[in-house]
């Protein structure tokens, strides 16, 4: 894992600007090859119920992959990068949000806050994974430490947490309840659309079949999505700074990983692993990110993580401001 010099991080925003142009025909193609297979697999899952529920559950895995891909398209729509038209981006994002259980307008605002504050210790808590410093953890109460350890446990962070986030927390504009009517409109509009869609499918195939076909896909997809987001920022040599020392460009380039996945996983995750480039230039459509790495190979090794490397990130939980790296609880305890 290597880094470019931090002094050059600012220059990349200008260098990458020519890649921002969206291709509407390519966008429609990417949307079709994501949605049509998902609909086909959901139909096959329902048909497989008469053969074996285990076959249905097995099909939930590829279905979750296509749902994750749709979420990444929704993500690009939120950045205004998928289509050239803002109207097309917004309505595509809203429709996909019904399938992913994610209110598009609400998520777009919280995610924009994440991009604007990523890596700033004084502005944590805006669309990121909660992260304490070593000093904060050492000074916390027994209950505060226990609560944080539970939150960072893999079963909570990648199991219970994602299911709670997408199925329950997204049903209310959590964190924005006092921010006017727009977060409520986005959330309630999505909820009503979800309720209508669920009603239709329950009427067509029954509630038991609907739950068996739909819930496993949502739960698996949610866990994959949270895992991807975690690895994109929770790696050993990430960047966190106090606001007085924080630089947006440095945080974007060096506080975001290049999660270098195998080709099939890169396709299902819509190149979101090229996250350092995405944070520097979020208006680049995901289908143009590989072109960036091809034209600028020096970006390939910036904060690079392989799939195997990423497994080691699970143990990291505390930011050490002295060593400027993320530590495990055991490493932090050894500091005294």
| Residue-wise DSSP of 17-67 | GGGG---HHHHHHHHHHHHHHHHHHHHHHHHHTTT-HHHHHHHHHHHHHHH
User: Quick check: 27 and 308 in contact, CB under 8 A?
Assistant: no
Over 70: is that where the pLDDT of 5 sits?
Answer: no
pLDDT tens, position by position, 278-289 = 999 999 999 999
User: What distance lies between CA 321 and its chain's CA centroid?
Assistant: 26
Residues 314-333 have pLDDT tens digits of 999 999 999 999 999 999 99
Q: What's the pLDDT at 183?
A: 85
Residue 1: predicted pLDDT: 45
Q: Is 289 helix (H, G, I), strand (E, B) or coil?
A: helix
pTM (two decimals): 0.93
Maximum C-alpha span of the chain: 62
Could you report the per-residue pLDDT of 164-174, keeping only the tens digit for each?
Answer: 999 999 998 87
- Beta carbons of 296 and 158 less than 8 angstroms apart: no
pLDDT for residue 203: 95
Q: Which residues contact 111 (CB under 8 A, 6 or more apart)?
A: 75, 78, 127
Measured distance CA(209)–CA(228) in Å, rounded: 29
Band (pLDDT 50/70/90 cuts) for residue 4 is low
* pLDDT beyond 90 at 2: no
In whole angstroms, give the CA distance from residue 110 to residue 113. Answer: 5
**Cβ-based neighbours of 133, under 8 Å, separated by 6 or more:** 121, 240, 318, 319, 320, 321
Strands 325-328, 316-320: pairing kind: antiparallel
User: Quick one: pLDDT band at residue 199, thresholds 50, 70, 90?
Assistant: very high
Structure tokens at 287: 């289908």
Of 81-90, 126-135, 224-233, 282-291, the poorest mean pLDDT is in 126-135
- Six-digit token pair at 329? 């609880």
Residue 82, CB-side half-sphere exposure with 13 Å CA sphere: 26
Q: Tokens 């259980």 belong to which residue?
A: 101
23 burial level (CB within 10 Å; 0-12, 13-18, 19+): middle
Token digits of residue 39: 């609909």
Confirm if 21 and 82 have CB atoms less than 8 A apart: no
The helix (H) or strand (E) run that includes residue 199 is helix 181-205
φ and ψ at residue 118, rounded to 5 degrees = -55, 130
CB 73 within 8 A of CB 96: yes
pLDDT digits (tens, 9 = 90+) for 238-252: 999 999 999 999 999
Cα–Cα distance between 98 and 93 in angstroms, integer?
9
Please give the Cα distance from 92 to 80 (Å, whole number).
11
Tell how far CA 41 is from the center of its chain.
23
d(CA 287, CA 292): 10
| Residue where the block lists tokens 């979101």 | 272
Report the alpha-carbon distance of residue 41 to residue 334 in Å, rounded: 50
Find the mean pLDDT for residues 134-156. 96
* DSSP string for 54-95: HHHHHHHHHHHHHHHHHHHHHHHHHTT-SSS-HHHHHHHHHH
């Amino acid at each position: 894992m290597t880094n470019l010099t931090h002094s050059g991080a600012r220059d990349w925003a200008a260098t990458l600007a020519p890649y921002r142009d969206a291709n509407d025909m390519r966008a429609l193609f990417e949307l079709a090859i994501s949605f049509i297979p998902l609909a086909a697999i959901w139909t096959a899952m329902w048909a497989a119920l008469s053969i074996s529920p285990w076959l249905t559950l097995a099909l939930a895995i590829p279905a979750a992959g296509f749902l994750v891909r749709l979420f990444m398209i929704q993500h690009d729509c939120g950045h205004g990068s998928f289509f050239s038209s803002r109207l097309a981006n917004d309505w595509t994002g809203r429709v996909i949000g019904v399938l992913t259980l994610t209110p598009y307008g609400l998520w777009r605002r919280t995610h924009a806050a994440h991009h604007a504050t990523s890596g700033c210790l004084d502005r944590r808590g805006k669309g990121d994974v909660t992260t304490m410093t070593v000093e904060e953890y050492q000074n916390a109460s027994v209950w505060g430490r226990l609560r944080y350890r539970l939150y960072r446990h893999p079963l909570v962070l990648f199991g219970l947490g994602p299911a709670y986030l997408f199925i329950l927390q997204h049903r209310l504009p959590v964190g924005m309840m006092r921010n006017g009517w727009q977060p409520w409109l986005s959330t309630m509009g999505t909820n009503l659309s979800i309720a209508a869609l669920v009603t239709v499918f329950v009427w067509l195939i029954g509630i038991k079949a609907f739950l068996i076909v739909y819930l496993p896909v949502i739960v698996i997809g949610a866990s994959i999505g949270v895992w991807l987001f975690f690895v994109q920022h929770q790696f050993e040599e990430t960047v966190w700074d106090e606001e007085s020392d924080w630089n947006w460009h440095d945080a974007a380039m060096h506080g975001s990983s290049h999660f270098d996945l195998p080709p099939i996983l890169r396709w299902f995750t819509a190149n979101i692993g090229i996250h350092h480039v995405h944070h520097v230039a979020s208006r680049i459509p995901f289908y143009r990110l590989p072109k960036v790495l091809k034209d600028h190979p020096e970006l390939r090794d910036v904060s690079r993580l392989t799939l195997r490397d990423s497994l080691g990130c699970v143990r990291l939980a505390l930011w050490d401001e002295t060593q400027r790296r993320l530590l495990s609880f055991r490493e932090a305890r050894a500091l005294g």
